Chains A and B, each alone.
Chain A
């Protein structure tokens, strides 16, 4: 038996209203498990940004969260359009979101930079036309 806890979520791409519910669920679970508030906040913000991105840019996807005593690993995978230029996408203010998304409060181009800001490790694998897989690690100090 390994000492990790696993949570799996399907993130539905057709429902903007419910986007973020997986992150809310993870936040609750981490609270019950007694992680420090700062760790919980960083995990939930990073996962929430990624979850919203999957809904607005990639028609949904899947989220897996692995909880270890010393770190939390978040894996977000989608089969959306992919990201052609990852360096560009990581820049603050870069966004391809259309006005319809901006009117919903997203599209500032801050999501990926925020995910980087709040995690210790972040890795993006993306192929245009195939999809995107983002892995993030938050360490528990």
Chain B
């Protein structure tokens, strides 16, 4: 947990995992979390454009303070996980954070 602990009551209904930002930008759904192994400020900006509330950096990637601050300023929860993308997405899915048709 790297920032915005106070926003943890935000409900996330589905998630999207990709290292390519335009793939993420192709599918708008509400209350989505972004899982990515990409670490740069454009990840946060992509989440902002999509009105996403949570970013999970996978594969043990640690975002720089600059990235975390940008997320914090925009009330986006930042998490980091040692899991690989496949497993991180799989665990969320298995815990019923299924992608819902909108």
Which residues from chain A sit less than 8 Å from chain B, CB to CB?
16-17, 19-20, 23-24, 27, 37, 41, 44-45, 48-49, 52, 102, 104-111, 113-114, 117
Given A49-B22, A49-B25, A104:B51 Cβ within 8 A:
no
**Interface CB pairs A-B, < 8 A, 8:** A16-B42, A20-B42, A49-B25, A105-B21, A105-B46, A106-B42, A107-B20, A117-B26
CB proximity to A under 8 Å, residues B20-56: 20-23, 25-26, 28, 36, 38, 40-43, 45-46, 48-51
Which residues from chain B sit less than 8 Å from chain A, CB to CB?
19-23, 25-26, 28, 36, 38, 40-43, 45-46, 48-51
What 15 additional pairs, Cβ within 8 angstroms, besides A23-B49, A48-B45?
Answer: A20-B49, A37-B51, A41-B51, A45-B28, A45-B50, A104-B42, A105-B20, A105-B21, A106-B22, A108-B20, A108-B23, A110-B23, A110-B26, A111-B22, A113-B26
Residues of A close to B40: CB separation below 8 A? 16-17, 104-105
Residues of A close to B43: CB separation below 8 A? 105
- Contact across chains for A110 and B22 when beta carbons are under 8 A apart: yes
- Contact across chains for A52 and B42 when beta carbons are under 8 A apart: yes
Given A17-B40, A107-B20, A110-B20, A45:B45 Cβ within 8 A:
no
Pick from B22, B38, B48: contact of A114, CB under 8 Å: B22
| 3 A-B pairs with least C-beta separation | A110-B22, A108-B20, A20-B45
Residues of B close to A117: CB separation below 8 A? 26
Given A104-B40, A105-B38, A41:B49 Cβ within 8 A:
yes
Pick from B26, B42, B50: contact of A105, CB under 8 Å: B42
- Contact across chains for B25 and A110 when beta carbons are under 8 A apart: yes
Pick from B28, B41, B42, B46: contact of A41, CB under 8 Å: B28
Pick from A20, A24, A41, A107: contact of B50, CB under 8 Å: A41
Task: State the Cβ distance, A32 to closest chain B Cβ, in Å.
Answer: 16
> A130 CA to B48 CA in the complex, in Å?
33
Residues of A close to B36: CB separation below 8 A? 105
